[in-house]
Amino acid sequence: MDMNDQIDQVLARARYIRAIGPTTEDFMRWRDSTEEFLAEAVGESHPTLASFREAIGPRESLDAEGLQIHGQFGMAPRLLAAEDVLRSLIS
């Protein structure tokens, strides 16, 4: 499977997660697996990985408290921003 196909799968999972009104755990699993995939695909120092990390937002306190779905720092806006970053990799 090429990188475009892998990104399409990651994007499909993000859309699904948004559609189901995810739990914080759903979001964190997607976030972590996607970040790991990107680090392997493009490298730790690639600007796209930095953009992805910025899109998914801060981790520490929000993860402990749980995330809301909507709102400025909710899961839905973070997923949408991360999807935009991922789409930029599709050639």
Q: Render each residue's pLDDT in the chain as its tens digit; 91 residues.
A: 798 999 999 999 999 999 988 888 889 899 999 999 999 999 999 999 999 999 998 776 555 466 777 777 788 899 999 999 999 988 7
Number of domains, the chain = 1
Any long-range contacts for 42-47 (C-beta under 8 Å, 24+ apart)? 42/89
Question: What string of DSSP letters covers the chain?
Answer: --HHHHHHHHHHHHHHHHHH---HHHHHHHHHHHHHHHHHHH-TT-HHHHHHHHHH---HHHHHH---SSSTTSHHHHHHHHHHHHHTT--
Distances in Å between the Cα of 73 and the Cα atoms of 8, 45, 56 are 25, 25, 9
pTM of the model: 0.86
Q: What is the pLDDT of residue 60?
A: 66
Q: Containing domain of residue 32, as a range? A: 3-87
